[in-house]
Amino acid sequence: MFPGGQCVIVDLPDQLRKPSVAGSKEALLLGDSWAAYAGTSLKDHCAGLAAVVNRGLAGTTAADWAANLDCATAPQSFCCQHAGEASCSVSQAVGLLPSDGSRVVWVSLGGNDYILSHCSTDTASLDKLQQDIEKVIRDLQWLAPKLHVVVTGYAAPSGPLYWTTGCDSPEALHPLNEVVRRAAIAQNVTFVNVSRIAGGSSTVHSQPEFYKDPIHLNSRGYCKLWTDPVLQEAMGCSASALRGASC
């Protein structure tokens, strides 16, 4: 926690909390497949939320979004080839939200960059990844200064990532989550540690019933994510959303 209350860092073991965005009415989900596959499920678990705009694009990287790619200027980019007119444009994504009222954005980025590097802990690669995530956060802050930014990193995988190498252990994503946390600190935004929401730890993989594959959550997994009490607070959900929640 930093002097003056500028940065909010929430880590599940310590449950370090600060007031955030009570009464948020619109939420933007931005980033990779963790955002894309969430659909509008946040609305089912976040009382008081009027609308969810999903601008997640599966397969995209923090580097893609940091470049702020739109399909007019980069029609051959991965974003535009796989998502049509959606693109990896932060400005276009923010433009989908109403201009008035309380707004919050959940950013899910870094997973593809990291996994494509075979979960490399090379300092230069991790530093570049942190810079790209910070660039996306800065763009959000510049475009919408009142937008509350929340980043989480990723839950521990439910098993080895069989399509790549170097990502087999339960703690394989820990260096990635540390990068996301440091980016949040650097840009004074809210970080919530969700690495253990599905029963995983540094020594145990997450429970597979919450996953569609070793890295992607299923509907029950998103229920676990969105109903985490610390993330609920960060997203500005009303407390009543937790009553009777069962995943």
Q: Is 244 a residue whose pLDDT tops 90?
A: no
User: Is the pLDDT reported for residue 50 higher than 80?
Assistant: yes
Rounded to whole angstroms, how far apart are CA atoms 132 and 179?
A: 11
pLDDT of 34 higher than 80: yes
What CATH number corresponds to the domain at position 206? 3.40.50.1110
76 compared with 12, residue with greater pLDDT: 76
Give the rounded distance of the alpha carbon of 155 from its chain centre.
10
Question: What's residue 72's pLDDT?
Answer: 72
Predicted confidence (pLDDT) at residue 23 exceeds the cutoff of 70: no
In a domain, 1, yes or no: no
> Which domain covers residue 98, as residue numbers?
7-242
Largest CA distance in the chain: 48
247 within domain boundaries: no
Kindly state the percentage of the chain with pLDDT values over 70: 82
Q: What value does the mean pLDDT take over residues 68-84? A: 69
C-alpha gyration radius of the chain:
17
Helical residues (DSSP H) of the chain, grouped into ranges: 33-36, 42-45, 62-66, 78-83, 90-95, 111-116, 123-143, 174-187, 219-226, 229-235
Q: Note whether residue 2 is domain-resident.
A: no
Q: Is residue 183 part of a domain?
A: yes
Three-state secondary structure call for residue 104: strand
Q: Look at residue 87 and tell me whether its pLDDT is greater than 50.
A: yes
Residue 101 lies in a domain: yes
Give me the mean pLDDT over the 33-60 stretch: 94
Q: What is the mean pLDDT of the chain?
A: 86
Q: What is the percent of the chain with per-residue pLDDT over 90, rounded to a whole number?
A: 70
Whether residue 6 contacts residue 220, with contact meaning beta carbons closer than 8 Å, is answered with no
Determine the pLDDT at residue 242.
58
106: pLDDT strictly greater than 80: yes
Task: Please tell me the total count of domains within the chain.
Answer: 1
In a domain, 172, yes or no: yes
Answer yes or no: is 135 within a domain. Answer: yes
162-216 pLDDT, tens per residue? 889 999 999 999 999 999 999 999 999 999 999 999 999 989 999 999 999 999 9
Residue 95 lies in a domain: yes
